[in-house]
Amino acid sequence: MSDFWIKDGETMLFIGDSITDCGRRGAEAPLGSGYVSLFSELATARYPDRQIRYINKGIGGNKITDLSERWRDDVLFHKPDRLSIKIGINDLHSHLRGADGGVSPELFAERYDGVLALTKQELGCPLVLISPFYISRDNSRQTLRSQVLELLPRYIETVEALSEKYGARIVRSHEIFQRHLQFRDAEVFCPEPVHPNRAGHLVIAEEVMQVMGG
């Protein structure tokens, strides 16, 4: 049990978009109904000796630009001992659709590096970075789904590079789901490619547990 990354009495904060949010500001408060809540339940079951405080700061629709705007209030203020970040798919979609406020791969890398540098400077807490994923295998180059899959590696590469730069643990969620899709229909994990169902969230929670040594 001593190898588990989160120690007794520590605070673990999760921040991200709708995949992290999962109703945590409504009926599913305070942790939501997704991987954050499932991870906390797994940790409670496996490590009864650990009293761990969990904070969920996911907000649906957020991009890295949104996180950077609220970073001081929603992360630094709480002074977590451990921090998990899951962001990127809304950034990609906004760029692909040419929307106002779209986040290109270059801007994604710049802003993500900025919040991690600030975190290192002010908190110095260990990090887990969860790469963006897309639960589809459409490689036709004729659909929006295939365009997303073609562009996604550029956002994933940023997360991987930043995990090395800041010594963060990384959850390669896209690789994990692509491996699952070799054996099962996508709807086993997700009714559409972005928002997982309970099985999909359990896949994420289990992988977060694995990278934390649980």
pLDDT at 127 over 50: yes
CA distance 144 to 69: 29
Buried-exposed string 25-48: b where 16+ CB fall within 10 A, e elsewhere:
eeebeebbebbbbbbbebbeeebe
Q: Which are the contacts of 74, defined by CB distance < 8 A and separation ≥ 6?
A: 15, 57, 67
pLDDT given at position 67:
98
DSSP H stretches of helix in 31-143: 35-46, 64-74, 89-96, 105-122
Residue-wise pLDDT for 32-55, tens only, equals 999 999 999 999 999 999 999 999
Calpha distance 18→47 (Å, rounded): 28
Q: Which residue has the tokens 């562009």?
A: 151
CA gap 186, 180 in Å, rounded: 8
State the pLDDT at residue 169. Answer: 98
Q: Which residue has the higher pLDDT, 153 or 101?
A: 153
Residue whose C-alpha is closest to residue 71's, from 90, 85, 81: 85
What are the backbone dihedrals phi and psi of residue 156, each rounded to the nearest 5 degrees, phi first? -65, -40
pLDDT in tens, 177-203: 999 999 999 999 999 999 999 999 999
Per 3-state DSSP, the chain is made up of helix, strand and coil in percentages (nearest 5) of 50, 10, 40
Sole residue written with tokens 């999962």: 22
Condensed to tens digits (0 to 9), the pLDDT of residues 54-86 reads: 999 999 999 999 999 999 999 999 999 999 999
Question: Average pLDDT, stretch 140-147?
Answer: 95
Lowest mean pLDDT, pick from 17-21, 25-29, 175-179:
25-29
Determine the average pLDDT of the residues in 112-117. Answer: 98
What φ, ψ does residue 32 adopt, rounded to 5°?
80, 180
Q: What pLDDT does 212 receive?
A: 94
What single-letter amino acid sits at 211? V
% of the chain surpassing 90 pLDDT: 96
d(CA 106, CA 13): 26
3-state secondary structure of 50: coil
pLDDT recorded at residue 1: 42
pLDDT surpasses 80 at 2: no
Helix (H, G, I), strand (E, B) or coil at 11: strand
DSSP state at residue 78: G
- Domains of the chain, earliest start first: 11-132+155-173+198-211 (3.40.50.1110)
Whole-angstrom Cα distance, residue 139 to residue 30? 38
* Amino acid 214: pLDDT: 76
